[in-house]
Amino acid sequence: MEFENNKAFSKLISGFKWNRNGQALDKKAFNHTKIGSSYDSLVNKYGEPDGIHESLVLGNKSIIAIYFTNITGPTKSNAEFHFMNNKLTSKTQTELK
């Protein structure tokens, strides 16, 4: 967690083993994830991300969600989703199949 003026404005969670009830995230699914979709819809479909960074600056909530497990591709594959105020604003992937 990061603090400024005794107030938390950022937190990072990583390395947890979440229970994956969602479907596997492959390249086709990644490509069909639409800009503007919600963070909750992503979690409902693919489960909790392996890493998450949240911040709140001037009333705007930012979330970066990173998936390393339950994805299709080699060991170093990952998918990263950026949300602002619960709307997907950008996404990147590395070697999804």
pLDDT digit string, tens, across residues 26-81: 999 999 999 999 999 999 999 889 889 999 889 999 999 999 888 888 888 999 99
Query: If you ran DSSP here, which 8-state letter would residue 5 be given?
Result: T
Q: Residue 20's pLDDT is what?
A: 61
What pTM, to 2 d.p., does this model score? 0.81
Nearest CA among 8, 97, 45 for reference residue 65: 45
Whose tokens are 């996404």? That residue is 91
Residues ≥6 apart with Cβ < 8 Å to 6: none
Q: How is domain 2-94 classified at the architecture level of CATH?
A: 2-Layer Sandwich (3.30)
Model confidence band, residue 1 (pLDDT cutoffs 50, 70, 90): low
